[in-house]
Each structure stands twice: as structure tokens, then as C-alpha cells.
């Protein structure tokens, strides 16, 4: 039996190395992308109809929000620009105090049982830069900022081919990641964080993951984040309310006034922080905002470029939701998927894995296939930069955290290169391992060994 496996593995190695050699000459294969999201049982809401949602936020009652936030209106004059994320950076430090919230509400009316976790934001740290580290962002709308998003944020297991990140979620947030994206799977009544299958990579329960995020939000009361959950099993959205409530994240969720949300309808970061609504929680499929207003329907609120791309040109064409006119797309936030994948096909099987050897180019500020070039192309095509740049292994690039430099340039602010990344030396070690023209061959060999080991177990 083992001899048969070895023959298959040898054939597979030959096939993969042939693919890799061809890719090194012409770029990555551009065959049909393997979907990394549910392709059946899904639908997209009609975002041509505006629905007003119940909300407790009344910003009109705040007469001078900029004064309350410790910021100056004169530094925020450019924040309303829709032609790009334009403003200037200020190095000043500001003490910012938001409003504490204690609630266990599920949707503004129904309440969770008394065992649900409760959180407050009473901490008042001093000498802290507000508004995601840039005081100038305070008076800029949430929809007028470019954020770096961690693709499959929880999947960090070393040696596992399904991993997409190297540093844990706390390090991600500390380094500046402001959207956490991931897949979920429903197993025996519990929502787990699993990549493709819980037999391949299981990062634990959604509730445990959200507890870590909630603790970070408590400790960082001047930051706004997004959580984008992939509903891969296309289950009822009520299955996500328990983990959000019991983790305490419910105390920080943002509830929009309408669905969909046009670009200009989003609040400023100052408004979100002042109200302590600092977590934008989205679900890609099955969300029902009339029932659960704070669980945002992703594709009513924004659109995406092609997901799990294998094309190094990273076209900034709209993929999901399909069939929307350009004027509608221009009035929504959007996410550029910039996580490069290697697609390997053999004997009827399709495998899609992060293309690790090219991370120093994919996450770079400039050069072919770089995040910097992709953002520039998107900006030209859509008259403004993407709101989210979804990346694998964010800490690796042309230098540590180069993807944050890309976002900083899109936002017209400065970035401190010394602020990244969570583990010293990670970048240099990875770079040394992947140097040389045979990097692709080494990588696909590792892929094959990983597959083979699972056959022999």
C-alpha cells in the first residue's frame, strides 16, 4: 500500500514542480479560482431598497463632538473628501474619553440571559493617540479610511498548510490590523473557527476568539475595528448572536441607521468612539439586519474584488455581489483581496494554499504584484482607495509590516516602520528561507510532504 502512495506522491511532485517551473516563467497560473466561500444556498440582498433600522445613537444631540473628543475641527477639514482618503498626519497625543456602555442586548429589544458577559470601558489611559493611532482620523468618516485586514486571522498554526497568519490576534491588533476576517463552521450546535474543514485546521470556538478581541477593545478604548465572519455552512444568523453576546463583544457593536449604508452615511471614528460602538461586525451570507441590526450584511454594505486570487495582476474588478451598476459600487465601501494563492491540480483534486515564497513581493509597497501597485490601480479605477486590504501573513513583506505603509500612503498619513511586528526577526528568517530561484519548488515540495504525511497517518 505504501508503495502505491509513494508512486502517487512521486507523480504529484513531478506534476507540481512542472507547474511551478512554468509559473516562474509566466507568473502564476490564471485558471479558474477555487472558491474559498460557500457557492450554494447563498443569495444577495436587494440593496436598491433602503431599510431604516432601530438605533440608539443620536449624534444630533452632541453639539460639539470635536471638542468632546479633544480634537480640532480645523485639522479635519479634508476628512469628507470622497475622491480619496486625504488628510495630513499629526504627531500629537490626545486624551480621548468615550462613553461607557453596559448592555446584553441582542438586537436592541431582546436581552440575553443573565450569564452573558458584561463589559465596561471605564479605563482612561493617558498619552494615547486616539482614532486608530491617528488623531486626524477622528473627524474622518469610517468609510473614508483604508484599513489592513488579516485574511483568516485565527489560523496561525505553525506547520499547518491551512494557516494564513503567523502572529496571534492580539499581536495583529497591536500591530495595526483593523479588520479580522475568518471562516466559521457549525459542529454539533457550536460555531467553530475552521479552515475549509475542522479536520484540517480547528482554531477553537468563535466565542473564545471573540473574548480575546473584547479584552483588547477594553484595553484600547480609542480604537475601532471590524470583524468579518464567513458563514461557510450557511446557517441561520441567530447562531452568531450567542458568541457575540457571551463574549462581551455585544457591548461594543456598531448598529447602522440603515441598510445599505451609502459612503457618506457612515459616522466618523470620533462618533463611534464617543458612543463606544467600536466593533463593526459583519456576516457574509444569511445576515438579517431587520432581525439583528448590529450583524451587518456584508454585501449590502460593501463589495469585494475577486476572492482567493491566483492572478498576480490582482484585477480590481468587482466580484461579489455580482451585477451591481457602477454608481452603486461607487457609493459603497469595498475590499481589495490581496492574498496571493497557489492553485495546484492533480488527479481531479484542486488545492489552494497561500503562496508563501512571494510574500515579500505581494505585501510590498511597490513592484509587480505588490499591494502598493494594487491599491494604486484600484484608486484609479474607482476614484478612491479600497477601504480594506485583505492580506496573508501581514507581518512579512519588503520589510516588516510594509502593508501598513501601503495603507498609510492611501490615507496620506505617516507610518512608523519600527512599530511592527509582533515577533522580532520573523521577517528576516522567512526571507532567508525563501531566497533563491528554487523558492517555488521548495514550497510546493513542503505542500506535497504535508499532504503525504496525512495519507500515512
Catalytic residue list = 151, 195
3-class secondary structure, 250:
helix
**Burial classification of residue 406, based on how many CB atoms lie within 10 Å of its CB (0-12 exposed, 13-18 middle, 19 or more buried):** buried
Which residues 6+ apart lie within 8 Å of 286 measured at CB?
A: 42, 231, 234, 235, 236, 237
Buried b (16+ CB within 10 A) or exposed e, 104-121: bbbbeeeebeeebbebeb
C-alpha separations of 331 from 35, 262, 281, 294, 324 in Å? 26, 5, 20, 21, 11
3-class secondary structure, 399:
coil
The CA distance from 320 to 161, in Å, is 26
The CA distance from 142 to 264, in Å, is 9
**Burial classification of residue 126, based on how many CB atoms lie within 10 Å of its CB (0-12 exposed, 13-18 middle, 19 or more buried):** exposed
- Least Cα distance to 411 among 130, 180, 148 occurs for 148
- Residues 37-40: contacts with CB under 8 Å, at least 24 apart: 37/183, 37/230, 37/232, 37/284, 37/285, 37/307, 38/231, 38/232, 38/233, 38/234, 38/285, 40/234
The CA distance from 355 to 180, in Å, is 20
C-alpha dihedral, 375 to 378 to 383 to 384, nearest 10°: -40
The CA distance from 113 to 336, in Å, is 39
| Structural contact between residues 314 and 302, judged by C-beta atoms closer than 8 angstroms | no
Helix 402-411 and helix 371-382, axial crossing angle in degrees, nearest 10: 20
Which residues 6+ apart lie within 8 Å of 244 measured at CB?
A: 210, 250, 253, 281, 295
Q: What is the DSSP string of 155-202?
A: ---TT-TT---SS-HHHHHHHT--EEEEEEEEETTEEEEESS-TTT-E
Amino acid at each position: 500500500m505504501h508503495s502505491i502512495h509513494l508512486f502517487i506522491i512521486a507523480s504529484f511532485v513531478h506534476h507540481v514542480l512542472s507547474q511551478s517551473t512554468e509559473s516562474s516563467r509566466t507568473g502564476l497560473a490564471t485558471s479558474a479560482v477555487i472558491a474559498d466561500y460557500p457557492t450554494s444556498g447563498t443569495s444577495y440582498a436587494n440593496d436598491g431598497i433602503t431599510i431604516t433600522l432601530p438605533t440608539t445613537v443620536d449624534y444630533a444631540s452632541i453639539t460639539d463632538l470635536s471638542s468632546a473628543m479633544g480634537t480640532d475641527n480645523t485639522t479635519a477639514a479634508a476628512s469628507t473628501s470622497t475622491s480619496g482618503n486625504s488628510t495630513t498626519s499629526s504627531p500629537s497625543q490626545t486624551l480621548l474619553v468615550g462613553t461607557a456602555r453596559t448592555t446584553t442586548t441582542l438586537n436592541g429589544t431582546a436581552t440575553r440571559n443573565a450569564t452573558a458577559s458584561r463589559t465596561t470601558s471605564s479605563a482612561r489611559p493617558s498619552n494615547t493617540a486616539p482614532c486608530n493611532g491617528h488623531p486626524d482620523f477622528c473627524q474622518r468618516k469610517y468609510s473614508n479610511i483604508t484599513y489592513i485586514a488579516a485574511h483568516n486571522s485565527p489560523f496561525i498554526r505553525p506547520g499547518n498548510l491551512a494557516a494564513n497568519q503567523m502572529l496571534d490576534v492580539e499581536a495583529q491588533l497591536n500591530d495595526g490590523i483593523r479588520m479580522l476576517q475568518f471562516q466559521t463552521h457549525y459542529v454539533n450546535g457550536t460555531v467553530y473557527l475552521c479552515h475549509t474543514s475542522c479536520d484540517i485546521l480547528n482554531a477553537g470556538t468563535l466565542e473564545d476568539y471573540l473574548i480575546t478581541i473584547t479584552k483588547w477593545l477594553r484595553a484600547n478604548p480609542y480604537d475601532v475595528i471590524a470583524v468579518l465572519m464567513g458563514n461557510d455552512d450557511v446557517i441561520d444568523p441567530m447562531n452568531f448572536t450567542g458568541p457575540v453576546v457571551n463574549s462581551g463583544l455585544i457591548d461594543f457593536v456598531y448598529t447602522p441607521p440603515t441598510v445599505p449604508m451609502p459612503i457618506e452615511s457612515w459616522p466618523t471614528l470620533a462618533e463611534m468612539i464617543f458612543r463606544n460602538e467600536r466593533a463593526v461586525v459583519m456576516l457574509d451570507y444569511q445576515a438579517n439586519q431587520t432581525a439583528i441590526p448590529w450583524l451587518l450584511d456584508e454585501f449590502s454594505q460593501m463589495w469585494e474584488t475577486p476572492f482567493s486570487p491566483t492572478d498576480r495582476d490582482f484585477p480590481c474588478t468587482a466580484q461579489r455581489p455580482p451585477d451591481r451598476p457602477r454608481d452603486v459600487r461607487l457609493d459603497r465601501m469595498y475590499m481589495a483581496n490581496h492574498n496571493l494563492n497557489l492553485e495546484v491540480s492533480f488527479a481531479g483534486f484542486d488545492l489552494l494554499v497561500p503562496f508563501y515564497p512571494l510574500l515579500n513581493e505581494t505585501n510590498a509597497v511597490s513592484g509587480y504584484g505588490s499591494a502598493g501597485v494594487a491599491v494604486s490601480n484600484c484608486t484609479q479605477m474607482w476614484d478612491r482607495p479600497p477601504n480594506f486590504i485583505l492580506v496573508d501573513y501581514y507581518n512579512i513583506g519588503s520589510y516588516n509590516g510594509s502593508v501598513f505603509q501601503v495603507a498609510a500612503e492611501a490615507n496620506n498619513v505617516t507610518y512608523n516602520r519600527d512599530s511592527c511586528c509582533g515577533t522580532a526577526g520573523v521577517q528576516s528568517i522567512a526571507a532567508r528561507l525563501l531566497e533563491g530561484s528554487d523558492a517555488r519548488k521548495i514550497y510546493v515540495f513542503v505542500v506535497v510532504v504535508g499532504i503525504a504525511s496525512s495519507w500515512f497517518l
